[in-house]
Amino acid sequence: MLSPLAEVFGRLTDPRQRKGKRYELKVVLTVVVLGLLSGETSVRGIAAWAQEQRWALGPALGSKGGRVPSLGTIQRVLRQVDCQELEAALNEWAQELLSEEEQERWAGLAVDGKTLRGSGEPEQNSWQVLSAFSQRLSVVVGQRTVAEHSSELTEARPLLQALLLAGKLVTLDALHTQRETAQVILEKGGPT
């Protein structure tokens, strides 16, 4: 059975100190996901959305008096959360989703890199992610951040290693036409 995302977030290591912590990590991350699903595209927008929805969100998240995480709390959590651990947990959840669905022969899986708009700051480059998108489910089933002095090539193979590729037609940019990448796809059961 597919685990709710809040449970997935609840298994993550909370990097914050116990003192002064009002919201569990899973609550803050759930608010972020709900804000994104509601069309918000920035942390400020997510926090504003949460405040607008506090009377419905508060009880649903187990907080009293309609309290929801503030902009500052959301920003601190997103800065401190272990991105690799979060990605691994979300990848595992997505694989769970795929394994529960009936596997369609030759289902498409598109792998592509993107730069996240608005994620850069004057002293830091914008974030880049490499994502695997299930065309059948219309959902990202795997994702890895691309390190600042790295490229998509170095992240593609570990991303593919973590996915169920049996019977999947995998599409990638021309940049990825490498023997090692093709070998990973074949070893994971991709079509020949």
| pLDDT tens readout for residues 141-175 | 888 888 777 788 888 999 999 888 887 889 999 98
HEC secondary structure over 100-135: HCCCCCCEEEEEEEEECCCCCECCECCCEEEEEEEC
Which is it for strands 107-115 and 168-171: parallel, antiparallel or unpaired?
parallel
Residue 106 has pLDDT above 60, yes or no: no
CA 172 to CA 25: how far, in whole Å? 34
The overall average pLDDT reported for the chain is: 84
Cα 38 from chain centre: 16
Q: Which residues are registered as beta bridge partners of 171?
A: 110
The two tokens of residue 170 are 């995998």
Segment 17-41, tens digit of pLDDT: 888 788 889 999 999 999 998 999 8
CB 46 within 8 A of CB 74: yes
Instruction: Return the pLDDT at 120.
Output: 59
Counts for the chain of helices (H) and strands (E), in that order: 8, 4
